[in-house]
Structure 1
């Protein structure tokens, strides 16, 4: 009997992956020279080269700087950091943030895995962390899918979106240079700037921010009881009050500016993925604007 992750992956393979296959694997490049172990030869030094790779004996013989070249290790390890906190349950049935996250995770795992690369996943719900160690193959992608399904069926843990904890957890797991893709709404409590800087210093990091209209706006429907999905805090507000709406807009703008600034400081590409939008369009935009890099 086929399970929900099997059906989802099959649908994605037909709708999304066949259209994106080759765009990712043909479009990312190595950021590091000399990552392999096999010596391939010498060439003249250029300004962008790492001075540690200069061959001083050859430099002395030829009277000009020479750098050692190596056969690069082409294996990629991809870590998917997946936010399963309560705020990710927001959205319409079938088009909520957790649904979009599942589609993104399985699509990326299948795309990168088709090239023989290893894919691991870290699922964080605000209270507990579930880890799927890096592996290869379609069966391994389904294992990630089953973990996503388990967390979707479990009641929300009630913890807040702790981006710093997620980043710290993947930093301890990724022992070699990796591509780390963080999928979250980034409605975060606490300071995550320093953990992101440390992670981006060692790894290639890409952030996919899943956004639902309910995150940024409130319809004008008079008195309404608003509940924080993560803390459970409730507040009765007048959604038509101009002062309230102005304060709400200012808070959203401040949050957006702080998120963008933190990502810029760390040199991390930030992509907005909206619920309700065709996942093909979202992923084509992400792939087209990101230089995927091998470590």
Structure 2
């Protein structure tokens, strides 16, 4: 598989496709997923109609369904017993997608925004099961766009189609941050579920909201990185712009000492991000714009299943 949006080595990037083409391509990639990746079924927390076995108790005539009869317990005790089950509970998956100005950057195969949408598609398609619901919080230039969770393939495709839209606001102060989006989701969604937070995590105020969210939900933090954020090329005097504020700065990349200090600072920053995500109790997946992102996701899921004792 290729890290580009088509399987050929010279295939188009997401930004070169129309939203309809990109959506179709994402669907084709993840409809071919190995069965069992990112399973979405969760056992219920209270007894009720379902499939997961729970405790056994004495049969109550007229109140219990004879189809629930536990013949092993009946034979062992000499009295009729029924087997209770745990209520089945669908999984609610939330995608918190950072689509702020800092994500409109990429020097390799794609922009960080494109890779973030790809990661969102992976989570959406790989958790799709009958009864499961998908919702989203898209952190955009003008605030957070909330898409309520609903089941069904048509809704899943609508969520991804909305994420593919690329409104470009003028650089300036952000009215809403990733931290505020996480806090709003924690307050609104009380039912435990899966939350995938996809961002470059360059906004430094997200640690505490992420920790609070992970107390109730299973959280997967997907960190999106471009190689130029890790090291500077020697290209002479480079003019850079802060996409969030529009501020310009000239960087003398011909200075070896400056490039080394930049690389050291970037490495330390990424280490801090990783430590903060782990400290919050969230799982961590780092994706890069210069790597085969589909293969990295597959390897990550396989590793998680092995740790859980499941087959890869």
Give the TM-score range, shorter chain.
0.7 to 0.9
Secondary structure of the 1:169 match is helix
Cα gap change, 1:230 to 1:289, in 2 (>3 Å): farther
Aligned residue for 1:140? 155
Higher Cα radius of gyration: 2
More deviation, 244-253/194-203 = 244-253
**Is this contact kept in 2: 1:86–1:158, CA < 8 A?**
no
CA deviations 1:32-90 (Å, max 9, x no partner) are: x86134294259xxxxxxxxxxxxxxxxxxxxxxxx98504331000000000111110
Cα gap change, 1:23 to 1:16, in 2 (>3 Å): same
Alignment partner of 1:38 out of 20, 38, 48: 48
Secondary structure of the 1:41 match is strand
Q: Distance in 2 between matches of 1:127 and 1:284?
A: 34
Q: Cα RMSD between the aligned structures? A: 2.9
Query: What TM-score do you get using the length of structure 2 for normalisation?
Result: 0.74
Aligned residue for 1:125? 140
Aligned residue for 1:175? 190
Q: Distance in 1 between matches of 2:201 and 2:149?
A: 24
Aligned residue for 1:57? none
**Which structure shows the bigger proportion of residues in helix conformation?**
1
Cα gap change, 1:186 to 1:131, in 2 (>3 Å): same
Measure how far apart 1:182 and its partner are. Answer: 0.4
Aligned residue for 2:237? 223
Aligned residue for 2:281? 267
Does 2:195 correspond to 1:185?
Answer: no
Which structure 2 residues correspond to residues 83-162 of structure 1 after superposition, within 5 A? 83-92=98-107, 95-150=110-165, 152-155=166-169, 158-159=172-173, 162=177
Cα gap change, 1:20 to 1:212, in 2 (>3 Å): farther
Which structure 2 residues correspond to residues 58-97 of structure 1 after superposition, within 5 A? 71-92=86-107, 95-97=110-112
Q: Distance in 2 between matches of 1:103 and 1:192?
A: 22
Q: Distance in 1 between matches of 2:112 and 2:144?
A: 19
Secondary structure of the 2:215 match is helix
Measure how far apart 1:184 and its partner are. Answer: 0.6
Measure how far apart 1:112 and its partner are. Answer: 1.6
CA deviations 1:164-220 (Å, max 9, x no partner) are: 22211221232200100001111113x322211111111110111111112212210
Cα gap change, 1:38 to 1:187, in 2 (>3 Å): same
Q: Distance in 2 between matches of 1:41 and 1:114?
A: 27
Query: What TM-score do you get using the length of structure 1 for normalisation?
Result: 0.78
Measure how far apart 1:107 and its partner are. Answer: 2.9
Secondary structure of the 1:104 match is helix
Secondary structure of the 1:35 match is strand
List runs of 5+ in structure 2 lacking aligned partners: 1-16, 58-82
CA deviations 1:239-260 (Å, max 9, x no partner) are: 0213322321232122112111
